[in-house]
Amino acid sequence: MAEAAPFDAIEEALGFRFGDRRLLVEALTHSSFSAENASENSYERLEFLGDAVLELATTEMIFAAMEGEPEGPMTKVRASMVDEATLADVARSWKLTEAIRLGVGEDRSGGRDRPSILSDVVEAVIAAVHIDGGPVSASDLVRRTWEPIVRDRLEAAHVSDSRSMLQESLAKIGRTVHFEFRRSGPDHAVEFEAIAIVDDEVLGAGTGGSKKAAAIAAAGEALLRIDRGQPGGGSPADGC
């Protein structure tokens, strides 16, 4: 078994203390390790349970947060919350990476940072908490961890749609929008400014780390102005 220190750090990150740390050990044991150590079980069974626990808990969160929304948008948001990349980020925030038990070859090949492994371990840890502390403990863990993720995904879903909403709104009255951009800052911290222009009139402006993000922000401001009946203003930015 690994030393206590990594487990202490993990439990602190989880906000949960295991009564039986053997469950946590199993949740951190990859099949490559168990193949080299016949007495050790891999996390695969726990992963199976954890996947279901995570899906139910996140579904309940989305169902409450997206009141009145149809199934399609809720499904898209959920998929973005439990994808491999997101779960790998959660694994890092839970301090799991250094404690994962891997076979020698898997470790040497970079398995400790492989998103597929990290995401599986997160699900296994959720299952371990579910077994050790009960369904409420597992649900609370998911909620604590995923609440900011839910907020970010819902905001992104709302904002990312602002450009298409603006285009659709203008199309109904036979008008179109185009965006012009100005780039500033060094390559490692570049920032774009976008303006939304309709019939030579600036309706919105926004900034972002990419042209897409800046255009989305500009479209959002333009929609607010249209809703409020406010005219645009200002001169077009220089194109890139």
Residue numbers annotated as active site: 51, 123
Amino acid at 167: Q
CA dihedral sign of residues 25, 31, 37, 39: positive
Pairing of strands 191-198, 201-208: antiparallel
Residue 232's nearest CA partner among 192, 199, 204, 190 is: 204
Question: How distant is the alpha carbon of residue 175 from its chain centre?
Answer: 35
- Residue matched to tokens 């699900």: 123
List beta partners, residue 204. 196
| Sequence-separated contacts (24+) of 182-187 with Cβ below 8 Å | 182/237, 182/238, 182/240, 183/240
| Cα 61–chain centre separation | 14
Distance CA 64, CA 152 (A): 15
Gap between the Cα atoms of 205 and 54, Å rounded:
39
What distance in Å separates the CA atoms of residue 118 and residue 146, rounded to the nearest whole number?
16
Convert 58-82 to b/e letters by CB count within 10 Å (16 or more is b): beebbeeebeeeeeeebeebbebbb
